[in-house]
Amino acid sequence: MNIQEYIDSGVLELYAAGGLTPAESAEVDRLAAQHPQVRMALEECLRTMEAYALTHAKAPRPELEDQIIRQMEAVTPPRKETTPVNGRVLPLNPSATEEFTERSNSRWWQMVAAVLLVLSVGFNVYLYSNLRNTRSELALARQDSRQYALQVSQLEQRNFQSESLLGVLRNPSTVLVQLKGVTQHPDAQATVFWNQETKEVYFDASSLPKAPTGRQYQLWALAQGKPIDAGVVKSTDSTLQRMKAIEEAQAFAVTLEPEGGSVNPTLEEMYVMGNSNSK
């Protein structure tokens, strides 16, 4: 039999999902025991179905915990060794065997107790490691899904941004105003997209240095020599920010102002400026 073909056939997945008859399942068990490759592929399927089952997890009512735990405690301790021996043999001569039985009994109990202790500790260790695995698997799965969701929303946001940017750029009435760094800040740069029909202003601050804490950049339109507030710049990342609508401007400039912006520009703190070639 070709092992890879067997793995690819889908039978392991059927096994994991519970779609095989007992006889078919036994065949899978047999092959998994024989071929490590099969066993690994099967484990993968089982782990996946465990995770799928976990996606349905729902905590039962808290009141159930005590009740169910009591029920579990009431059943025979789960150890083969403790199964009571049925059909006790009665001694023919009680007085003669009494002492012997007592002693061997207590020794027997000691042994049982020791075995039980070892088993119990082993079981606890096993459960604990299993629990840790399950927990870390769950945590990983949760983290993954969170990251995934975050990535999707980031991508969506980015996509939305680039789409709106494209819309602004494609519009024939949009003029692009390059703001160049003034003498004190030769490396600073920014771009204003100004739709002269709708008067909308978009600002791209990506080439401005990060504003120090407690300060914000503010965009100004200069019309007839007077500065008009076009709004404060919220962040200097690559996002395109919509500013206040500007009716008329011969130039745009950016100054660094206290947080929240100022009524009049602090001219000593001007970073960039550019003419808008307004028609």
Partner 1 sequence: MAQLRAQDQKAITLLYRNYSAALYGVILRIVKQEEVAEDVLQESFVKIWSAFPTYDEQKGRLFTWMLNIARNLAIDKIRSKQYRVSSKTQPMENTVTTHMVSSDGIKPDHIGLQEMTEQLNPDQKVIIDLMYFNGFTQSEVAEELNIPLGTVKTRARMAIKFLSKLIK
Give residues in contact with partner 1 (CB under 8 A): 8-11, 13-14, 16-21, 29, 43-61, 64-65, 67-69, 71-73, 75-80, 113, 116-117, 120-121, 123-124, 126-128, 130-131, 134-135, 138, 141-142, 144-146, 148-149
Distance CA 105, CA 186 (A): 95
Min dist. Cβ of residue 112 to partner 1 (A): 9
Min dist. Cβ of residue 123 to partner 1 (A): 6
Smaller CB distance to partner 1: residue 33 or 169?
33
Min dist. Cβ of residue 2 to partner 1 (A): 16
Min dist. Cβ of residue 98 to partner 1 (A): 23
Per the CB < 8 A criterion, the answer to whether 209 and 216 are in contact is no
Smaller CB distance to partner 1: residue 13 or 269?
13
Smaller CB distance to partner 1: residue 75 or 92?
75
Min dist. Cβ of residue 97 to partner 1 (A): 25
CA dihedral 229, 235, 236, 239 (to 10 degrees): -100
Min dist. Cβ of residue 22 to partner 1 (A): 10
Smaller CB distance to partner 1: residue 97 or 109?
109
Smaller CB distance to partner 1: residue 79 or 103?
79
Smaller CB distance to partner 1: residue 41 or 232?
41
